[in-house]
Structures are given as structure tokens and as C-alpha cells.
Amino acid sequence: MSEDLMLALAEGISALGLSLGEEAQKQLLDYMALIQKWNKVYNLTALRDSQEILTHHLLDSLSAIGPLMQQTRSLDGAFSFLDVGSGGGLPGVVIAICCPGVNVTCVDAVSKKAAFVQQVAASLKLGNLKGIHARVETLSGPFDVIGSRAFASLPDFVNWSSGALADGGVWMAMKGKLPEEEMSALPPMVQVFHVEQLLVPGLNAERCMVWMKKSTALSA
């Protein structure tokens, strides 16, 4: 991996206010190399350029780490995370690398993508990561946090995964522009409790994160 990419990653991590050791940074770059290697056969991403993959995938996923830790601070960094429609493991693999105490499950309906995540877990020796080939509706959990990145509409996301959410658990949806129509179409059982803008270093595009939970009035 080139020194330019190493420097760009380090600068991006710093800009996001994160503190990651050399080992975690190396694992992130190794993960990127695996994406590029497997991409030739598995079509994990339409991006081919290393710098674009770094910005649009790695740094974009890294922008979720700070907010995720903030929203789960009562769990002391030890919780279960389900990445729905994970594809090549974004952001699930990035979370597993950066947060060793978090048990990450990446689920995808495409078997080769789940197999890739399993390969990443083995290659990078990530004992807290696993890939599952399944539809999220079939999973029972429970997971403390269920997340997605550009997966589906918010109503579909919460409806399909509600059976896997732990009591008191939350949903984390990474989106582009603020999805106001999707938010207004959420079922009564779900309430949005926080929305925040995400700033991705080197990416001139709108990003936001929508946090949701089951309505206490209906889940009681």
C-alpha cells in the first residue's frame, strides 16, 4: 500500500477526531487491498481507484465511529452491531476494526458478499466479525444496534429488521441528503430521536445519520 494512501488515511482519521493506533490503520488499509483484490471477481464496488475507495468507502464509514460511540456510551464499548445489507462490509468491517469490543455481524442476501466478509475476518484475524448470508427478516438477534449504509428506505429498513432489535436497542441509518419523506413515512412504532450531519474528509457530498428507536408508548 502506498505511502500516499497511508498519509491520506491518517489525515482523514485525524480530521474526524478519531484516535486509531498503527495496527488498526494497517488493518483498514489491508481491508481496502482485499476489496480491490476480490472486486475483480465479486464486484463489491463500482469504484476502482484507490483514493476514491479510501474516501467514498473507508472514510465515509469511519465518519460513523464517533457518533456510534457517543450514542452507545452507556454500553462502555461492548455491544452487538448488525450491519444490514452490508455488501463488502461497509461500515461493519470498519466498526469491527476500530471498536474491538463490539461484536459485528454483517448480513447480506448475496452469498458472495457474506463470504467476502468472512474472508476479511479470517485474513485480518478479527474475532469480533462475522458475515452471514441471509435476509435480515429471518434474523432474531437480539442486537443492541442495527445499522445500514445506503441500504433501503427507512420504513423498509426498520420493518425488515425490527425482529432482530434488542429491547432498548437503536437503529442507525447512514444516508446522503436528509430523508425527510422517508422519516415522515416511518411506522408509528418507530421514532426518530436524533439526526446529525456527517462530514467526510475529502468528500464534497451531503451525508447524515438518522437514529431511531421503538416508541416507548408502543413497546411498553
End-to-end Cα, the chain, rounded Å: 52
What is the distance between the alpha carbons of residues 82 and 147, in angstroms, rounded to a whole number?
Answer: 6
- For the chain, give the mean pLDDT: 92
pLDDT digits over 55-94, tens only? 888 999 999 999 999 999 989 889 999 999 998 999 999 9
Domains of the chain: 64-219 (3.40.50.150)
β-strand pairing of 143-149 with 80-84 = parallel
Share of the chain above pLDDT 70, in %: 95
What is the distance between the alpha carbons of residues 66 and 18, in angstroms, rounded to a whole number?
Answer: 7
Radius of gyration (C-alpha) of the chain in whole angstroms: 16
pLDDT digits over 13-24, tens only? 999 999 999 999
Per-residue model confidence (pLDDT) at position 48? 67
